[in-house]
């Protein structure tokens, strides 16, 4: 039970603070469907689970090795996030103009697999997640059995998944409220601006 609690706290500890990735998840869910939002949420949770596994198995040795590459990886994260924000804003504006001119009310949906892999890759770019989990198991992973490590990783993944699914559900509800063309445009632009601001704060 102690290991379960530790894993749950670890999962929520890294997942609950809503950063650029969480903001993008909400915006994506608002512009798509429940299925796409859920797949994207599970992509983030999978990355947290992978990092939890790596940290639990080799966290003590891995943490010092990551220090020299934290800054470069952080800049990569900023570039990717800003790129996604720009693409999201451009897509939102084009969708709005197309609907005004042609009256089209349906758009090409994002596939669940694409959303999952995209959010998985985006989250894996964050080196702070590895360091976070490494700090949690630092000095304690060696005294845990394989079964305990598996329980820790599973609990961390489920905790992260539950929070990310909650964010995705909130995004879907937001999308249903803002069903008009203008509402969807505002959602895309606000999401893009917030992502850029949060991304810049990573290196500010």
Positive or negative, the CA dihedral 105, 25, 47, 78 is: positive
Q: Mean pLDDT over all residues of the chain? A: 75
The rounded percent of the chain whose pLDDT value lies above 90 is 7
Q: Where exactly are the structural domains of the chain?
A: 2-73+109-179
pLDDT per residue over 58-85, tens digit each?
766 666 676 676 677 678 767 877 887 7
One DSSP character per residue, 131-160 reads: HHHHHHHTTTGGGS-HHHHHHHHHHHHHHH
In this structure, what token pair is assigned to residue 103? 């009256």
Q: 50 falls in which pLDDT band (50, 70, 90)?
A: confident
pLDDT per residue over 97-111, tens digit each?
776 555 444 444 578
CA distance 191 to 188: 5
Better-predicted residue by pLDDT, 49 or 195:
49
- Give the pTM: 0.69
Element (H, E) at 169: helix 146-177
**Collapsing DSSP states into helix, strand and coil, what is residue 38?**
helix
- The set of residues, in sequence order, having a beta carbon less than 8 Å from that of 133 and lying 6+ positions away, is 10, 14, 51, 52, 54, 55, 56, 59, 156
């Amino acid at each position: 039970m102690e290991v379960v609690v530790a894993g749950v706290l670890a999962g929520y500890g890294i997942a609950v603070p809503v950063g650029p990735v969480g903001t993008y998840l909400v915006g994506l869910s608002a512009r798509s469907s429940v299925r796409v939002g859920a797949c994207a949420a599970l992509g983030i949770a999978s990355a947290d689970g992978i990092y939890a596994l790596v940290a639990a198995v080799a966290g003590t040795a891995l943490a010092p090795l990551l220090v020299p590459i934290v800054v470069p990886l952080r800049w990569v994260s900023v570039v990717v996030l800003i790129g996604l924000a720009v693409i999201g804003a451009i897509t939102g504006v084009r969708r709005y103009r197309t609907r005004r001119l042609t009256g089209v009310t349906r758009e090409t949906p994002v596939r669940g697999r694409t959303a999952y892999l995209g959010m998985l890759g985006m989250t894996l770019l964050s080196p702070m997640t590895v360091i976070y989990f490494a700090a949690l198991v630092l000095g304690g992973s060696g005294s845990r059995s394989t079964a305990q490590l598996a329980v820790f990783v599973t609990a961390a993944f489920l905790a992260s998944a539950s929070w990310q699914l909650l964010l995705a559900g909130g995004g879907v509800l937001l999308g249903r409220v803002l069903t008009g063309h203008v509402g969807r445009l505002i959602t895309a632009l606000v999401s893009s601006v917030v992502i850029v601001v949060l991304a810049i704060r990573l290196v500010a």
